Amino acid sequence: MEPLFTLLVGFSTAGLVWLWWRQRRANAALRRQLDQARARQEASEASRQAAVAEALAQRATLLHGMAEGVALLDGEGRIQLVNPAFERLFGVPSDVVGRTLLEAVRSHELDELIRQVRTAGHVSSAEIEWPGPEPRSLQVNATSIAGGRTPGLILLVFHDQTRLKQLESTRKEFVANVSHELRTPLSLIKGYVETLLDGAKDDPALAQRFLQTIAKHTDRLTYLIEDLLTISRLESGPTPLNLQPTGLRDLVERTVDDLAQRAAERQVSLTNQIPAGLVVRVDADRVQQVLFNLVDNAIKYGRPGGHVTLGARALDSAWVEVSVHDDGPGIPAEARHRIFERFYRVDKNRSRDQGGTGLGLAIVKHIVQNHGGEVRLESESGRGATFHFTLPREPTPPE
Distance CA 396, CA 156 (A): 59
* 140 burial via Cβ count (<10 Å: 0-12, 13-18, 19+): buried
Q: Specify the residue, 121 or 305, whose C-beta has the smaller distance to ligand ADP.
A: 305
CB of 381 to ligand ADP, least distance (A): 10
Q: Specify the residue, 68 or 181, whose C-beta has the smaller distance to ligand ADP.
A: 181
CB of 355 to ligand ADP, least distance (A): 8
Residue 100 CA, chain-centre distance (Å), reads 32
CB of 179 to ligand ADP, least distance (A): 17
Q: 79, 104 in Cβ contact below 8 A? A: yes
Distance CA 357, CA 351 (A): 7
Q: Considering only CA atoms, which of 301, 310, 305 is closest in space to residue 351?
A: 301
Q: Specify the residue, 74 or 341, whose C-beta has the smaller distance to ligand ADP.
A: 341
CB of 228 to ligand ADP, least distance (A): 12
Q: Specify the residue, 96 or 362, whose C-beta has the smaller distance to ligand ADP.
A: 362
Q: Specify the residue, 278 or 308, whose C-beta has the smaller distance to ligand ADP.
A: 308
CB of 188 to ligand ADP, least distance (A): 17
Distance CA 331, CA 344 (A): 12
DSSP 202: G
Distance CA 303, CA 267 (A): 9
Q: Specify the residue, 68 or 326, whose C-beta has the smaller distance to ligand ADP.
A: 326
Helix%, strand%, coil% for the chain, nearest 5: 55, 20, 25
Q: Specify the residue, 124 or 293, whose C-beta has the smaller distance to ligand ADP.
A: 293
Between helix 284-301 and helix 248-258 the angle, nearest 10°, is 50
Q: Considering only CA atoms, which of 216, 181, 169, 176 is closest in space to residue 359?
A: 181
Distance CA 255, CA 52 (A): 72
Binding site for ligand ADP (CB under 6 A): 293, 297-298, 301-302, 326, 328, 331, 339, 344-347, 351, 356-362, 385
Q: Specify the residue, 185 or 328, whose C-beta has the smaller distance to ligand ADP.
A: 328
* 143 burial via Cβ count (<10 Å: 0-12, 13-18, 19+): middle
